[in-house]
A and B are shown apart, each in its own frame.
Chain A
Amino acid sequence: MMVSAFGLSGGSRISESLCPADFSMEEEKQMERNFKGKKRRTLSECAGFSLQSTIAKCADAKEQNDVSPHFVKSSTDKDVKKQKSELLPCYNSSKSATEQAKEISQDDDDPKEAYIHVRAKRGKATNSHSLAERVRREKISERMRILQDLVPGCSKITGKAVMLDEIINYVQSLQQQVEFLSMKLAAVNPELNFDIEQNFSKAARVGTPSVLGLSPVFSTPYAHYPGAVQIPSEMIVAATISQLSSIAQIENMWDEELQNAIQMTLIPPQQVNNSGFHVKDPKVL
């Protein structure tokens, strides 16, 4: 009887007006939060919650004077599904219920539009805590998906733990590559003919696919990483050969630039104490 008496739009308001005195402070805050606060819930759940509480309270009020908040609270989470099934004939589907909820929210004239509005799904808990947890979990899974696309060879992996391990391995291998390459670069060249032009064109051309294992020298440290993609070095060589015509001009330009730069920056090179640095520690520069 109470179910049918409640209009769709004013359901919870009526419930509030019916038993205002019986509401404990907590529940009042919660009700307020339902309509004016950060998170919106489906009408079925709001009404379910409120109906449940009012039914319980009014029933109890007849028998006893004081209503224990514990009873109401415990009943909500456990019996909310039961209540929903009872409420089903009134509310056709969750979709229409959400529409009703939208109407309610618009009636309430919520000023706090900056918050992310989350709808609680059917059959799930409606605690604000669990909603926040759900939002957080969704964010995390979304980012894991992005990472899955980024890390090569991880399309088949499902599950956060394994994915996390893969990500850690990938970042570690990248940092090791940087170390190795920096040592190699340190040994290789005092030459000044830096072909910036070549590098720019190469960077523009190759784009996204990762270049691993260009030459036999590189293959050993990278081979341990399972998802390594090998791009034939002929492509890079071809790119460079096409640019070799402009080497001389760039050399002159670079020399001039360097001389200018050196003259302008008159700071003497600092003597940095590097002896104690552990090789594998990427945190320390």
Chain B
Amino acid sequence: MKQNKNTSSNPNPRKASMQTYHFLRSLAHINLTTPLSALHRRSRAIRRAAYVSMARAASPRRMWTRAILGRLQLLRRGRLLRRQRSYKKKAISTPHDKLRRLVPGGEEMDFCRLLEETVDYAEFLSKQVRIMESVVVMEAESKKKEEKV
């Protein structure tokens, strides 16, 4: 999905809230473009927006950010070969493999590096979950307020 360009200034430029900012912008964009009827497509787009805003906020030196943004590029050009990947899926041989598959870009890293990436990834993932939860809560709150008024 396309992202809005950062043309307007962020009202509160804080380091911790880059993720929030990106996510909210993309969320607003999704609300405009995709209608409520296409629920599946909307949820897909929102999930993609969540991961991309995570990757944007994190350091680009990380393997998982590069993997996510690379996937976004491929998706934009419509060349994502997911069929090929599903054939290559092997049975889980080592316990490491499961973790490798969970963390994006974790296929070609040694275990040491994988743990490092997992730490970073888990941090940003939990932040993203918190952001999304707070958005839902605020929507519920504002709806309640509207109904009262």
Measuring CB to CB, which residues of chain A are less than 8 angstroms from any residue of chain B?
Answer: 136, 139-140, 143-144, 146-147, 150-151, 161, 164-165, 167-168, 170-172, 174-175, 177-179, 181-200, 202-204, 206, 210-211, 214-215, 218, 233, 236-237, 240, 244, 247, 253-254, 257-258, 260-262, 264-265, 267, 269-270, 272, 274-277, 282-285
B residues with CB within 8 A of A: 1-2, 4-5, 7-8, 11-12, 14, 16-17, 20-21, 24-25, 27-29, 31-34, 36, 39-48, 50-51, 68, 71-72, 75-76, 80, 82, 85, 95-96, 98-99, 101-104, 111-112, 115-116, 118-119, 121-123, 125-126, 128-143, 145
Most buried by B among A179, A181, A237: A181
**Neighbour of A171 across the interface among B1, B41, B96, B102, CB < 8 A:** B102
Residues of chain B within 8 A of A184, CB atoms compared: 136
Q: Are B101 and A283 in contact (CB under 8 A)?
A: yes
Residues of the B chain whose Cβ atoms lie less than 8 Å from the Cβ of A265: 2, 4-5
Cβ 8 A contact of B130, one of A188, A206, A218:
A206
* B46 and A182 within 8 A (CB): yes
Instruction: Count A-B contacts at CB 8 Å.
Output: 209
B112 and A139: CB pair below 8 A?
Answer: yes
Are A260 and B8 within 8 A (Cβ)? Answer: yes
17 extra interface residue pairs, beta carbon distance < 8 Å, beyond A178-B128, A195-B138: A136-B112, A147-B119, A150-B119, A168-B98, A171-B122, A184-B136, A186-B42, A186-B46, A196-B24, A199-B138, A206-B130, A258-B28, A258-B32, A261-B7, A265-B5, A274-B40, A274-B44
Looking at chain A's contact residues, is the secondary structure mostly helix, strand, loop, or mixed?
Answer: helix
23 residue pairs from A and B, CB less than 8 Å apart: A140-B112, A143-B115, A150-B123, A165-B95, A168-B95, A171-B99, A183-B43, A185-B46, A188-B139, A188-B140, A199-B24, A203-B17, A211-B133, A237-B137, A240-B137, A254-B28, A272-B1, A272-B44, A282-B102, A284-B71, A285-B47, A285-B68, A285-B80
CB atoms of B47 and A179 under 8 A apart? yes
Q: List chain B residues, Cβ under 8 A from A189.
A: 31, 139
Flag if A260 contacts B7 (CB, 8 Å): yes
Contact B39 A187 (CB under 8 A): yes
- In the complex, what's the smallest C-beta–C-beta distance from B95 to chain A, in angstroms? 5
Report yes or no: B14 in contact with A204, Cβ–Cβ below 8 A: yes
Q: State how many angstroms separate the Cβ of A243 from the closest Cβ of chain B.
A: 9
Report yes or no: A270 in contact with B119, Cβ–Cβ below 8 A: no
Give the contacting residue for A211; candidates B95, B112, B130; CB below 8 A. Answer: B130
The residue from B17, B31, B126, B130 contacting A200, defined by CB atoms under 8 A apart: B17
Q: B126 touches which one: A174, A199, A247, A257 (CB < 8 A)?
A: A174
A147 touches B118 (CB 8 A): yes
The CA-CA distance from A218 to B130 in the complex, in Å, is 13
- B135 & A203 in contact (Cβ 8 Å cutoff): no
Give chain A residues whose Cβ lies under 8 Å from the Cβ of B126. 174, 210
Q: Looking at the complex, which one of A143, A181, A262 makes contact with B112 (CB distance below 8 Å)?
A: A143
Cross-chain contact B134 with A283 (CB below 8 angstroms): no
Q: Which residues of B contact A284 (CB under 8 A)?
A: 71, 80, 82
Asked whether A200 lies within 8 Å of B137 as measured between CB atoms, the reply is no
A198 to B134 CA separation, bound complex (whole angstroms): 9
Complex Cα spacing A276 to B102, Å:
20
Are the CB atoms of A257 and B132 closer together than 8 Å? no
In the complex the two chains form, what is the Cα distance from A171 to B104 in whole Å? 11
Closest CB-CB distance, B138 to chain A, in whole Å?
A: 6
Output the nearest chain A residue to B40 by Cβ-Cβ distance.
A274
Cβ–Cβ < 8 Å partners of B139 in chain A: 188-189, 191
- Given contact pairs A161-B95, A191-B142, A270-B2, A181 touches B136 in the complex (Cβ within 8 A): yes
Cβ-neighbour of A186 out of B43, B116, B128 (below 8 A): B43
